[in-house]
Amino acid sequence: MQKGNFEKLLMEAIDEGLFSVGESPRRAIYFHLEKSFDIKKEDIPKKIEVFEDAIEKIFGFGADFLEVLIMKRLYEKTGGVFELEEATDFAFSEYVNAVKQHLTEKGNSKLAVGATQ
C-alpha cells in the first residue's frame, strides 16, 4: 500500500471517528486543533503523535473511546480485522504506525492490537 493511500484512509477514519460526536463538534475540534495545537486537518496523518496528544488534552480519558473508534474505522478501511486485546497502556500513534508498517510490509489482513503484541 502506498504512503499517500494509507494517509488518505487514516484521515477518513479520523474524520469518521470525530463525526461520532456530531458535525458541529467535529468542526470545532478541527478548529481547536489548528488554533491551539497548530495542526491543520490535512497534516494530521503526518503529525499523528501531535494529534494524539491534542485529542488527549481536549478529551482527557474520553480520548480512548475516540482513538479506539478511529482504529476500528482504519481497520475496516484497510480490510483488516480489528482485535483489541486487553491493554494497560493504549498508545494510539504506535498502533497507527504498526498498521501502516504491517500493511506495507506484510500485506496480511489480520493484526492483533494490544499490550501483549
CATH class of 3-113: mainly alpha
pLDDT score, position 52: 94
pLDDT score, position 3: 61
pLDDT score, position 111: 52
C-alpha cell at 16: 469518521
Q: What would the pLDDT profile of 3-48 be if each residue is shown by its tens digit?
A: 668 899 999 999 999 999 999 999 999 999 999 999 999 999 999 9
pLDDT score, position 87: 55
Strand 81-84, strand 110-113: pairing: parallel
Q: What would the pLDDT profile of 71-117 be if each residue is shown by its tens digit?
A: 889 888 887 655 656 555 668 888 888 888 877 776 544 555 443 33
- Domain ranges in the chain are 3-113
The verdict on pTM exceeding 0.95 is: no
pLDDT score, position 2: 59
Give the helix ranges, DSSP H, for 23-62.
23-37, 48-59
* CA dihedral (50, 63, 34, 42) positive or negative: positive
